[in-house]
Amino acid sequence: MGNKLLKAAAVNHKFVSKRGVLERLFTLMFQGFVYNQIWEDPDVDIAALRIQPSSRIITIASGGCNVVNYLAADPARVIAVDLNPNHIALTRLKLAALNYLPTYEDFFQFFGYANTKDNRHKFDTFLSDRLDETTRKYWEKWIPLHGRRINMFARNLYRYGLLGRFLGILQTVARFHGKKLNEMLTARTPEEQRAIFDRTIAPLFDSAFVKALSKLPVSFYALGIPPAQYEELNKASGGDPAGLIRRRIEKLACDFPITENYFAWQAFGRRYDTEERLGVPAYLQEETYKVVRQRTNRVETHLASMTEFLAAQPEQSLDRYVLLDAQDWMNEEQITALWRQITRTAAPDARVIFRTAGPDSPLGKKLPADVLDHWVYEAEDAHKYFDADRSSIYGGFHIYSLKAA
């Protein structure tokens, strides 16, 4: 089912065309495990959404970090949908681990370190029998040369998936040029961050190999960037995608304290800060963990497209929508269908947030006036929250609020 949903979302051109071939290649790659963590900053999301105790949130699940982190803001409900069954399985495992692993240290070992053999024992003892059958079979499936899929948590989850392997390739490219990306993680001041970036990372973008790689759409598929989104990224770069990526990595490396930016820890080290536990997602910090584990019963998960799921919901039944970067995949017809359902299901005071590869929202060009007229674009707040997003990989952050009746 997941493969059919993904194909319907990502494939918009005929097979015989170049774009059609690229779309099908992306779909093939994206059918597997892609994200071992989400790459949208949940602190920004929570602030932009203005979550209230009555808020009913619907979000794309991805790695599930956002789903769990939103619980800290005390919403009434969080609904997680995703086209990729691998991401639904990871989200459900996180929820089960919050419920059934005995202690915070057990939980941190599982998702913070994610690299100890004891995690297999924890899965068998505390989690396996408490998972739904589909999720249990997913994690117990035998993978040639690797054993059960749950072994990822014994070998470092954050080295797996398309994203983990892509970051591994970047590490290899850096080493080939005599650079070590994980040196960034030793910085303790903004000045040190800048000096290390200028010395170890910036020179990589002068490499002919990196420049050539950045001009191939397939190079970005491991980041979950489909052909349509790559086109927007290339357009935003003025034909210099290597330069654009350099600027975004510069923001990641230099604009936020490395000690606290877990996105930087993953990008430059493929791990979290397991020593000080500052560079970790909020749900892996002990005080937040204590809060969110009491609220997991507020979450539901569904293998579905956002549009498909919303079409089955009552009018005015939701009020917070998190679309991640999904609209960069969509054509005009798909975006219109999605926003008709958002508008129909939106309760008063509803808010929608999403990110884009380029700086501009697609709605002005792709959404009919009879739908767009229901919404207000909050440009000032959107710009403020874009600047605050620690992941730094997107070109735009956007907020729409429902007009008062």
Q: State which H helix or E strand residue 206 sits in.
A: none
Asked if the model's pLDDT at residue 16 lies above 60, the reply is: no
Q: Which residue has the higher pLDDT, 26 or 104?
A: 104
What number of other Cβ atoms are within 10 A of residue 244's Cβ?
20
The pTM of the whole model exceeds 0.85 = yes
**Confidence (pLDDT) at 175:** 84
**Residue 122 resides in a domain:** no
pLDDT tens across 207-224, in order? 887 787 777 666 665 555
**Residue 232 resides in a domain:** yes
**Residue 261 resides in a domain:** yes
Amino acid at 361: S
Three-class SS state of 61: coil
Domain of residue 248 covers 180-269
Beta bridge partners of 356: 396
Tell me the average pLDDT across 293-319: 97
Q: Which is nearest to 390 in space by CA: 277, 290, 292, 248?
A: 248
Helix (H), strand (E) counts: the chain: 20, 9
What number of other Cβ atoms are within 10 A of residue 208's Cβ?
7
**Residue 190 resides in a domain:** yes
**Residue 380 resides in a domain:** no
pLDDT tens across 87-110, in order? 999 999 999 999 999 999 999 999
Let me know: does 345 contact 319? Beta carbons within 8 Å: no
How many domains does the chain divide into?
1
**Residue 198 resides in a domain:** yes
How far apart, in whole angstroms, are the C-alpha atoms of residue 340 and residue 356? Answer: 20
**Residue 258 resides in a domain:** yes
**Residue 278 resides in a domain:** no
Phi and psi torsions of 351, nearest 5°? -135, 145
Asked if the model's pLDDT at residue 78 lies above 70, the reply is: yes
Structure tokens at 233: 């990224």
pLDDT tens across 161-197, in order? 665 556 677 788 888 888 899 999 999 999 999 999 9
